[in-house]
Structure 1
């Protein structure tokens, strides 16, 4: 079972970059080369939908920025532009959350290559009574909340909830 959890954490930990799936709370910039009027910055709302000129509302939850760029390119091609060049970049990722025995619990902006030890450092470090090993990560996987055991090298993703337990010694 632990091997399965490790493999799952390893696989999900490499979901940044081109594999990163957009979700509510992400702030993205859409640029259409040579079309300043079509350049926009937008935050993905709770419904996972964005509005873009000349196109109907676009559902972006669960797709990569590259797939979104392709969707916009295909939507603009023909009726509006001959050969649109679209780039989508993530301006700000949705946050991760850390609570329990850290000095400054709360929500923090996600950063690429974020591991559990870095997340703890962002939250001010471990509190005096913090466990040195009882760390859990709650993550939404395939629509279900799962609680995973964490260690210093565990990869943290946006929307993760980290719980640092109290030590009994």
Structure 2
């Protein structure tokens, strides 16, 4: 009986985690460097396993041409492609778009291995520092700034170790004063 409850609980947790992932992807805004997959059910010639968005945040698609994806969600791209293919090219097309690879975030300053790193959903500054090899001996834990990729003014904002990190963010860790 206990094993049965264990598997039931495990199944519920898996369903819940998939719902959270789907919800997270539904609000994610695409940008240059993201890699997406497009699937049109029953149409292999219109399905693409990997498409990297250009520096302008666009990609080229058959019958439609250049598609502006920057700032749009995967669901918005699905709807746009389905609407443009419907009628003239296909009858009631079923389109799905998913993000395969997020654009990088960047970390500089007093970390052991500064540079660009692949974004991972749920990333915090603490984990970003760990990915970059950790802090140097001179690093300040209180003088950390982030420039958000989505901020058109590129204004640095103060951050702490629990601050969420998003694709395209630029993190700078200053030296501490002794």
- Tell me the distance in 1 between the aligned counterparts of 2:77 and 2:113: 36
Give the match for residue 46 of structure 1. Answer: 55
Give the match for residue 5 of structure 1. Answer: none
Equivalent pairs counted in the alignment come to: 155
Structure ID, larger Rg? 2
- Tell me the distance in 2 between the aligned counterparts of 1:16 and 1:160: 17
TM-score by length of 2: 0.83
If asked which structure has higher relative contact order (CA below 8 Å, sep 6+), I would say 1
1:129, 1:167 within 8 Å by CA — same for their partners in 2?
yes
Give the match for residue 75 of structure 2. Answer: 66
- Tell me the distance in 2 between the aligned counterparts of 1:97 and 1:117: 14
Give the match for residue 8 of structure 1. Answer: none
- Tell me the distance in 1 between the aligned counterparts of 2:36 and 2:61: 12
Name structure 1 gaps, 5 residues minimum: 1-14
The structure carrying a bigger strand percent of its residues is 1
1:140, 1:146 within 8 Å by CA — same for their partners in 2?
no
Find out whether 1:88 has 2:107 as its counterpart.
no
Find out whether 1:77 has 2:90 as its counterpart.
no
- 1:131 aligned to which of 137, 140, 155: 140
Find out whether 1:21 has 2:32 as its counterpart.
no
Name structure 2 gaps, 5 residues minimum: 1-22
TM-score by length of 1: 0.87
* Backbone CA RMSD of aligned residues: 1.4
